[in-house]
Amino acid sequence: MTSFPPGFLWGSATAAAQIEGAAFEDGKEASIWDAFARIPGAILNGDTPDVAVDHYHRMPADVALMKELGLQSYRFSTSWARIRPGDAYTNQAGLDFYSRLVDELLGAGILPWLTLYHWDLPQALEEKGGWANRDTAYRFRDYAEVVYEALGDRVQHWTTFNEPFCSSLLGYASGVHAPGRQEPAAAVAAVHHQHLGHGLAVARLRELGAQNLGITLNLTNAVPRDPSDPVDLEAARRIDALNNRIFLDPLLRGEYPADIRADLAEFGLDTVSETGLVRPGDLEIIAQPLEFLGVNHYHDDQVSGHSLGGGGADDAGDPHGVKGGRAVSSPFVNAEYVTFPLRDLPLTAMGWEVHPAGLRTLLVRLGQEYPTLPPLYVTENGAAYDDVVSHDGAAADGSEGAEAVHDELRTSYIEQHVAAVSDAIADGADVRGYFVWSLLDNYEWAWGYGKRFGIVRVDYDTLVRTPKDSAHAYAAIIAAAG
């Protein structure tokens, strides 16, 4: 039996580059994803975000759909390249789009939950070094200020970054994400500069009156294959460090942990100096109090320090199902040797293990390990499956019935993870909300349109939206909890 505290917030999430399309309209210029998508082999089938699901032009209908499903909140991101395209000026038409979105949401009784950065750096800033350049952190603060000034009168919940792990280590070390660089030093610099950008933006938005500020991290339990094997334990320590603690500790404790400073000393993470990566005062800027921490969780990693004997995920050449086709390296700087053997669990279409108990463990652990932990929101959780469209009630005269998607696996994934959140709350975790990823099928980064996470199907020829069974099941969960 699941139960949730009064006021528990139910929503769903998307990101600008994955849904908007209109990639070069009304003054928007290229983001690093628009540029990356044009590199041969970077994205499965060469798919681009040019049109995506055309949300930019279909926004009012999409909000109406959210209302129909009973969503209480909608988590979306603003596109930096739409608002401060070359960073030299503000594009009013870009701000106007988000202003209309916010008004539409409020009119429908849906709480806007805004994220400033979901991976789509303006390409103009990448050309100046991107996140490896310290100056980008200051440019992020300026962009945050412009968005706040336009929307701060109506939007109460502000998230700085979505999953800095991905936009630093996947973008600058592994190369599987934009900008596709494979430079460990740049990746470590990107981690620190995103932290700094977060802190600078939090300080500025606070000055301007923001009251609910947070960040969203993708957190992943690193489970040692054999907990009595020191080689596996060391591998798990390193993966926990790079997936979780290199983000949590600066934000919540104001320091990089000693083991991480030692592992990454060659990149300058172990010293504070006027000219180095970490400068005097940086950690104070980074570690400001927050009102919430967003947790994105999809799967655990089982981790080993031994090479795989066969049958493991690495044998497919695609350890985590993130590769779209081009040669990529490990995102785990100085831990590239680590392997990720699969356990005997069901897999999603991404090749990710389904293990809801991992979410419960993670949410409980955070409260135990971080005394200053703010309230938690699960800001993403969901699953990709190869959906089958059926035509229910086809008539004898041969006319096709209504389209339906009976996605039992996604429905059960969501139900089990919602139950895991309820269990975590019963164990003492302070979780205040849950956002399913994703409202709509959309542009799944390096996988292009090849993986579907939506609770609403999008036909990529007609762009018609059809709620899947999981959307109706999720609506029922919300109605029952409320």
Q: Which residues are catalytic?
A: 380
Q: Indicate whether 249 belongs to the interface with ligand GBH (CB under 6 A).
A: no
What is each CA distance from 459 to 174, 250, 350, 442, 463, in whole angstroms? Answer: 31, 43, 20, 10, 5
Q: Indicate whether 298 belongs to the interface with ligand GBH (CB under 6 A).
A: yes
Q: Indicate whether 218 belongs to the interface with ligand GBH (CB under 6 A).
A: yes
Q: Indicate whether 342 belongs to the interface with ligand GBH (CB under 6 A).
A: no
Contact pattern from residue 57 through residue 86 relative to ligand GBH, giving x for each residue in contact according to CB under 6 A and a dash for the rest: ------------------------------
Q: Which stretch binds ligand GBH (CB under 6 A): 254-262, 316-324, 389-397, 416-424?
A: 316-324
Q: Which of residues 380, 387, 423, 441 is near ligand GBH by CB under 6 A?
A: 380
Q: Which stretch binds ligand GBH (CB under 6 A): 163-171, 230-238, 354-362, 401-409?
A: 163-171
Q: How far is the CB of 239 from ligand GBH (least distance, A)?
A: 8
Of 385 and 453, CB closest to ligand GBH: 453
Q: Indicate whether 162 belongs to the interface with ligand GBH (CB under 6 A).
A: yes
Q: Indicate whether 437 belongs to the interface with ligand GBH (CB under 6 A).
A: yes
Q: How far is the CB of 342 from ligand GBH (least distance, A)?
A: 13
Q: Indicate whether 320 belongs to the interface with ligand GBH (CB under 6 A).
A: yes
Report which of 446, 423, 98 is spatially closest to residue 90, judged by C-alpha positions: 98
Q: Which of residues 47, 410, 444, 468 is near ligand GBH by CB under 6 A?
A: 444
Report which of 65, 52, 63, 60 is spatially closest to residue 25, judged by C-alpha positions: 52
Of 163 and 407, CB closest to ligand GBH: 163
All residues at 6 or more sequence positions from 424 whose CB lies less than 8 Å from its CB, including other chains: 359, 360, 363, 364, 431
What is each CA distance from 389 to 45, 53, 456, in whole angstroms? Answer: 22, 18, 12
Q: How far is the CB of 402 from ligand GBH (least distance, A)?
A: 28
Q: Indicate whether 453 belongs to the interface with ligand GBH (CB under 6 A).
A: yes
Distance CA(55)–CA(156), nearest Å, equals 23
Of 104 and 163, CB closest to ligand GBH: 163
Contact pattern from residue 5 through residue 24 relative to ligand GBH, giving x for each residue in contact according to CB under 6 A and a dash for the rest: ----------x---------
Q: What is the crossing angle of helices 469-481 and 408-426, to 10°?
A: 30
Output the six-digit token pair for 391.
């035509």
Q: How far is the CB of 13 from ligand GBH (least distance, A)?
A: 8
Torsion angle, alpha carbons of 153, 25, 465, 481, to 10 = -20
Of 72 and 296, CB closest to ligand GBH: 296
Nearest residue (beta carbon) to ligand GBH: 320
Q: Which of residues 296, 304, 361, 381 is near ligand GBH by CB under 6 A?
A: 296
Q: How far is the CB of 106 from ligand GBH (least distance, A)?
A: 25
Of 4 and 468, CB closest to ligand GBH: 468
Q: Indicate whether 331 belongs to the interface with ligand GBH (CB under 6 A).
A: yes
Which parts of this chain interact with ligand GBH (CB under 6 A)?
Answer: 15, 162-163, 166, 170, 218, 296, 298, 319-320, 322, 331, 380, 437, 444, 453
